[in-house]
A = this chain, B = another copy of it.
Amino acid sequence: MQLPVILVNFKTYPEGRGKRGILLAKAAENVSSEYSVNIAVAPQLLDTINIAQNVEIPVFSQHIDTKEPGSATGHIDAYTLREFGVSGTLLNHSERQINLRTIEEAISIAKDAKLKTLVCAGTIPMSQAVSILKPWAVAMEPPELIGGDVSVTTRPNIVKLAVEAVTNGNPDTLPFIGAGVKKADHVDAAIQLGAKGVLLASGVVKASDPEFVMTEMAKILKTVK
């Protein structure tokens, strides 16, 4: 996957649900294609397969479970994701936290199912800690900023330390940054500070014109490279 990456988390926002979710994913695809910038989407869990069948850009699951396929009613099975060409999965989002051992098991299952893993962490030390488990990427999101109007990039020192922490944990794990990242210049700042990707949600999903917002971000990224 070409870097840097803009990863849009649809959460369970009604604006990104069902048919509106497909439109949103297609908007991301348009922008990605027009500006040759890598935009990935993490649709609502129930929409994941549907959207993976409708777009060419990378699709991530919002979560996977670790129980062995079979007697696991109501669990999210990594191998199904692979069958439909899903690229990866978020893990341990602050809204869907899991045990430390489960994180390690999920990374292992995801590797077996050929899925990339992006593990979320709320602090600098947690970012380094999960990076040691060798996921594809770690996204540092201070929980107090998630969903709010203050971008994590207004605290450049935190972003730099997070990037360093992830790289210290494992030099091959990509440092992502998130929380309050809503505008093109936030994305720009994150990349300038060393992040290889940004994790965003409401800034795009709840925008009156998500394609416009993503376009602005893509133009900035184009310049960055």
Query: Could you list which residues of chain A lie within 8 angstroms of chain B, going by C-beta atoms?
Result: 9, 11-14, 17-19, 42, 44-50, 53, 61-63, 67, 69-77, 79-81, 83-84, 90, 92-104, 121-123, 125-126, 128-130, 132-134, 143, 146-147, 169, 201
Taking a contact as CB atoms under 8 Å apart, the answer to whether B125 and A84 are in contact is: no
Q: Does the CB pair B13–A69 fall under 8 Å?
A: yes
| Nearest CB on B from A96, distance (A) | 3
Q: Which of B9, B92, B100, B134 contacts A92 (CB 8 A)?
A: B100
- Subset of 6 A-B contacts with CB under 8 Å: A12-B77, A14-B69, A14-B70, A47-B49, A63-B74, A73-B90
Report how many copies the assembly holds: 4
Q: Chain B nearest CB: distance from A9 CB in Å? A: 6
- Evaluate contact between A122 and B95: CB separation under 8 angstroms: no
List, in ascending order, chain B residues with CB within 8 A of A19's CB. 83
- Given A18-B80, A104-B125, A129-B130, decide whether A90 and B74 contact each other with a Cβ distance below 8 A: yes
Which chain B residues lie closer than 8 Å to A147 at the CB level? 71
Q: Which residues of B contact A53 (CB under 8 A)?
A: 50
Looking at A11, A73, A90, which has the most chain B CB atoms within 10 Å of its CB?
A73
Apart from A12-B77, A45-B74, what 14 extra A-B contacts exist at CB < 8 Å?
A11-B70, A12-B67, A17-B69, A17-B79, A17-B80, A17-B83, A18-B83, A62-B73, A71-B95, A72-B95, A75-B95, A100-B103, A100-B121, A129-B129
Q: How distant is the Cα of A53 from the Cα of B54 in the complex, in angstroms?
A: 14
- Nearest-neighbour CB distance to chain B for A72, whole angstroms, equals 4
Instruction: Kindly name the residue among A46, A76, A133 whose own CB sees the greatest number of chain B CB atoms within 10 A.
Output: A46
Q: Which residue of B is nearest A18, CB measured?
A: B83
CB distance from A141 to the nearest CB of B (A): 11
| B44 lies within 8 A of A46 (CB) | no
Min CB gap A97→B, angstroms: 4
Q: In the assembly, what is the distance between CA of A129 and CA of B125, in Å? A: 9
Nearest-neighbor residue (CB-CB) of A42 within chain B: B73
Chain B residues near A18 (CB, 8 Å)? Answer: 80, 83-84
A16 to chain B, nearest CB (A): 10
Kindly state the separation between the CA atoms of A17 and B129 in the bound complex, as whole angstroms.
34
